[in-house]
Amino acid sequence: MDYGIWTLLPIVVVVAVALKSKRALEPLILGTLLTYIIVDGLSFPIGWMDAFFRVATDQSHQWVFMVCGLFGALIALLGASHGTLGFSRLLGRLCRGPRTTLIVTWVMGILIFVDDYLNIMTLSTCMRKLTDRQKVPRETLSYIIDSTAAPVCMIAPVSSWAAAVSGYVNSENVSGIQMFIRQIPWNYYCLLTLLMIVVISLLNIDYGSMLTHEYNAQVKDDLFTTPERPFAGADDYETGTKGKSSVLDLILPVVVLIACCVIGLIYTGGFFDAEGETYQNFMEAFSNASSGQGLAIGSMLSLVFAFVYYWLRGAVGFEKSFESIPNGFIQMISPILILCFAWTLCGLCRDNGLQVGAFVEGVMANTGSLAKFLPAVIFIVACFIGFATGTSWGTIGIMVPLVCAVFNWDTQMTLLSVGLAASCAGGVCGDHLSPISDTTIMASAGAHCFHLNHVATQIPYGITVAAVSFVSFIIAGIVQNAVVCMIIAIVLMIATLLVIKAVVAKKHAGIFAEMAEADKALYNK
């Protein structure tokens, strides 16, 4: 059934109510109810409950729930070990203020490129205490965590995202992984997002509601601004003595976590199965891996390792360990509930419900034969689908086959690469900005940031990159030279940020002066 413009109503309601109420779970519940009222009429209660239970009992979703809980337990155990104190001392010489701390966070985010979930949870564990000490607001931390998760994975050939995108490419002329690699230099949103973090960190550029949070953190010593504390008590790190804390108490479990997660991913992909087609083939096994199951295996193994390691070292006793593990699980209940209803809404929008993807595809079909401008159109459409459905993988699954059908590999090889990049970049952009995205939710949870504050502060930054990316895709469709187009995109991005800095600095000169003094005092401390 074609619902026309009504397909957009639940998403609009969710976003509007969320922004008005400053809450996340209730608008999602309302959105799912509204969707089923549109689809099923008066019989909506039965369908709505069935949809929720299908999501909650879906095996792939259950693995993600398990990952969230296990990561929460590991984070709590890491906090009890005082390892963050040793880590803070190790990076103390580099992190001499908020800006250098952001650069360190950015570097670490790039280094953890295997999986976005792994990136988010590991980075938040390592950096939350350190950014607190340098008066970086939780909203800024969650933005960098979110911006070095999916964008990094989307341009990393060895990642779960490369495996997923490769699987969507169905062509006899070129392999999926080859096409994934070819789209990397054209993926403007992901590349420019990483560039933006460096520029705003080095040049002290803050705007939108993020400026308020930065001012309150640096000048007023308030890391939250708003009264909401979704993780109250979880940030009360035990100080202990310097002699009892070691940097290895943090680094070693995190290294083991990354290693175990990689092993878990290739295990689920059949790397160790002597009778399987992917036996001892790392790339093929990685491409065939179950992300949720692999990360669950890795996080469980690393949790066991941390438990035993801390006991042998005398850092955390048995009683304290057993207290920390369930407390960590409890802290992740709220994000898990939000994920449940977000996935419910996503499924209703893109599958047999309102079919947002089909609606948008129909709109795009009327763009005409302007092939050179089609990558920019594809980017916008993918942005919209990603934002509306809260999933980049789902968006890419919709758009990539369409792109492969529109552009011919033999005669339009470059445009095919640009179009594929546009669909991937748009999917990441929409997912990045969507309040119902799982990675957006997990980034705010990992940073212990109020979710809607994270969404509100991130949207202006994401829109800035999206606008520059849109122009860059127009240029790419015309010029079709990767090096030239990338140089132009970088220049446009930096120029845009400099203009924003000039405008905002003129308008809020007093605020920036106070922040500069606070930053100088913290640096010299």
Alpha helices (H) in 391-450, listed in sequence order: 392-406, 413-433, 438-446
Give just the sign of the alpha carbon dihedral 222, 223, 227, 232.
Answer: negative
pLDDT above 90: residue 113: no
Residue 196 has pLDDT above 60, yes or no: yes
Cβ-contact 28, 436 below 8 angstroms: yes
Contact criterion met (CB below 8 Å) for 400 and 378: no
- Identify the residue with better confidence: 326 or 67: 326
Burial of 242 from C-beta contacts in 10 A (0-12 / 13-18 / 19+): exposed
Average pLDDT over every residue of 159-179: 63
Taking the C-alpha atoms of 395, 401, 407 and 409 in order, what is their torsion angle to the nearest 10 degrees? 120
Q: Hey, how many other C-beta atoms are within 10 angstroms of the C-beta on 338?
A: 22
Q: Give the rounded distance of the alpha carbon of 318 from its chain centre.
A: 34
Phi and psi at 303, nearest 5°, equal -65, -45
| pLDDT tier for residue 278 given thresholds of 50, 70 and 90 | confident
| Res. 350: pLDDT tops 70 | no
Residues 6+ apart with CB under 8 A from 209: 453, 456, 457, 460
**Region 308-319: what's the mean pLDDT?**
83
CB 225 within 8 A of CB 212: yes
Work out the end-to-end distance of the chain between its first and last CA atoms, rounded to an integer number of angstroms.
64
pLDDT at res. 268? 86
Q: Is the pLDDT of residue 244 over 60?
A: no
Contact 350, 394 (CB under 8 A): yes
**Which residue bears the tokens 């560039």?**
195
Ordered by start, the domain boundaries in the chain are 60-163+233-336
| Residues 94, 95, 97, 99, CA torsion sign | positive
Spatial distance between the Cα atoms of 132 and 251, rounded to a whole number of angstroms: 19
415 exposure class (CB count in 10 Å sphere: 0-12, 13-18, 19+): buried
pTM summary value? 0.71
